[in-house]
Structure 1
Amino acid sequence: MAEKHIGKQTVALKNPPTIKATASIVGPKEGRGELKQCFDLIIPDELWGESSWEKAESKLVREAFAKLLQNAKLSNDKIDFILAGDLLNQCIAASYGLRETNVPFLGLYGACSTMAESMSIGSMLIDGGFADNVVCLTSSHFCSAERQFRFPLELGSQRTPTAQWTVTGSGAVALASQGTGPYIRNITVGKINDLGITDINNMGAAMAPAAADTILTHFADTGLVPEYYDLIVTGDLGKIGKKLCLDILRMNGLNIEANYNDCGVMIFNLNEQDTHAGGSGCGCSAAVFAGHIYKEMMKGNLKRVLFIATGALMSPVSLQQKESIPGIAHAVSIHRSLD
């Protein structure tokens, strides 16, 4: 009997894992944004001494993992599993970046929802007694993502107002069975939503329905109200997807505007930086959570956070076949204490 399953899609953890430490590395554009003081490292340029953007992204992963171990005061042999993924074909940024760790590895693809997906699975592994220490890690890179999904940068193609800027960055989280918090209490696993959006330059519209669906389900399953959380934050809807998400929620009788924000809106200065609708990419929610939100929780400024990373489940092949863009969103309920 699934005694920890509550409602339709939510898991209530009986032995909530603690977030032992985080690490975050971002690119130069992100390092000039609104959260520039929050990150562990800001790299000087997009190549970071490598011969390609893809190799630079693998370096982001490798160095974020090393920084996380340093922050958590852990060694490789103490890590039971690494759960990681990215946007590149076959998740090569994660697998190449972590191939020398000698740690059991589970590669994940949830697109930009991968941070919440990895934290969800890692939490269940710990709660189930299968692990004591799990690393959750994701990355993205503006240049490698543009090359794979859209247009070669050399073309200098004009970007539409709805387009978002894929964050160059990596965020990592160390989950542990023992610690002093913050704790992961509940997980709401999202389901695929597809309203037929086909515009690759409008990720916010593609992902907003999934974000709204998961938020509605979380509150229905748990019986909680939005005011319970100090912050409800989606992964990377950007300013357009954020508005759409709020509109969908209002149509369904839920108003979260008072304590809601979006990582894609938070990471850049949308008035001064040319990012159009805001940030996106696996590294967006990962870096904002690891670099900003976690630290605010440790300072006591945030006591309860609902973290919902959102993803567009597409590939270059699906786009070539004229397919629509399905969306997914997973929610992680994080508490500063167990009180």
Structure 2
Amino acid sequence: MLTGHQTWKFPIPPVILSTATVVGPDEGEGPLVNDFDIVHGDLMLGQDSWEKAERVLLEESTKLAVENAGLTNGDIQCFVAGDLMNQIISATFAARTLSVPYLGVFGACSTSMESLAIASLLVSSGAANHALAATSSHNCTVEKQFRYPTEYGSQKPPTAQYTVTGSGAAVLGREGRGPRVTSATIGRVVDMGITDPFNMGAAMAPAAVDTIEAHLRDLNIEPGYYDMIVTGDLATVGYSIANELFEKHRIPMHQTNYYDCGLLVYDVNTQDVQAGGSGCACSAVVTYGHLLKKIKSGEMDRLLVVATGALLSPLSFQQGENIPCIAHAVAIESGRRG
């Protein structure tokens, strides 16, 4: 199963039986609105705090994903999830509602693919017949925790990114119809000495390139093997840096369609989202909504999603620490091509 140094190649590729995506109002005004299952018109979702609203986002996406798979909570052997809140409370409280075996994970904004990789490993190995992977983020909870509260109204630099309000979930099974998870590359922590929490794209880009390079090397393939490679949430700044690094490392990304979820989820030219999207939900809702629909429709067959995460905390930032970053890659294929 271990291929090369960092990649799991699944001998029994888990099937993505169903997905579900739930987003907030800003995402509902973006170009992918028709690819989301539920679009909320306000950020509070009828709750009395943003933190409680984020938990509801995760509860809604997981409930709908299980229903879409034709299963019940009792059919799920493991729920793998995480978020950006202190002690991943959104995921933990959602797990309390689901009442199924639970593994909490934290990879910052890379959590979408970290949870999918672990859930895939559980299913492929036989440790679970069905596993549920999910994550969430909320613009106001993240701004409140990592930068300045939304009410403060601070001016942000153009390098800043806009946290996606939403949640994405996927149900995996050992058998069934649907796209399959064929491999996953577990990233290394990369620290390039960046300390600015308003420049996440620049901090995360080297980690994304490092993981993509490892994935290609471990599997002995070229970027053109995939119809599309997407990074998680590098946005305009990080996307540009990643392309420069690909060229420097002689990785021929021109052979494939390389995109970034932070540039897909919003229209950066018409929406006030600074450099583009970020947050755990960024890669989750784009992948589980927009990109998997492309696979199911036959528009593409092979997809590599490389979710990126900045592993800082308010404590580490206050102590003047650098921002270490990580990226995890998951390959999803239709099986229509050999």
1:298 matched to 2:271? The reply is no
TM-score by length of 2: 0.98
Q: Is the 8 A contact 1:133 1:177 kept in 2?
A: yes
Residue 180 (structure 1) shift: 2.2
Cα deviation digits, residues 28-60 of structure 1 (max 9, x gap): 000000101100000110001000000000000
Q: Which of the numbers 311, 315, 318 marks the counterpart of 1:317?
A: 315
Query: For 1:38 and 1:85, how far apart are their aligned partners in 2?
Result: 23
Report whether the alignment pairs 1:326 with 2:317: no
**Further displaced range: 91-100 or 57-66:** 91-100
1:230 paired to 2:233: no
**Residue identity matched to 1:229:** Y
Shift of 1:120: 0.7
RMSD, aligned CA: 0.9
1:220 and 2:217 aligned: yes
Q: Secondary structure at the match of 1:158?
A: coil
- Corresponding residue for residue 65 of structure 1: 62
Match of 1:32 in 2: 29
Corresponding residue for residue 281 of structure 1: 279
How much does 1:181 deviate?
2.7
User: 2:269 — aligned with what?
Assistant: 271
Aligned to 1:167: 164
Report % sequence identity: 48
- Who is 1:103 aligned against? 100
Aligned length: 336
Q: How does 1:81-92 map to 2 (within 5 A)?
A: 81-92=78-89
Q: Which runs of 5+ in 1 are unaligned?
A: none
- SS for the counterpart of 2:103 is strand
Query: Tell me, what secondary structure is at the counterpart of 1:162?
Result: coil
The corresponding residue for 1:335 is 333
Structure 1 position 153, deviation (Å)? 1.5
Give the distance between the partners of 2:76 and 2:41, measured in 1 at CA.
30
Contact 2:59 2:97 in 1 (8 A): no
Give TM-score, length-normalised by structure 1: 0.98
Q: What one-letter code is carried by the residue in structure 2 that aligns with 1:325? A: I
Structure 2: 5+ residue stretches without partners: none
Pick one of 35, 40, 52 that aligns with 1:43.
40
Q: Say whether 1:210 aligns with 2:207.
A: yes
The amino acid across from 2:310 in the alignment is A
Residues 95-145 of structure 1: per-residue CA shift (max 9 Å, x gap)? 112212110010010000001001111111111110110000000000000
Which 4+ runs in 1 deviate beyond 4 A? none
Q: Higher mean Cα deviation, 280-289 or 148-157?
A: 148-157
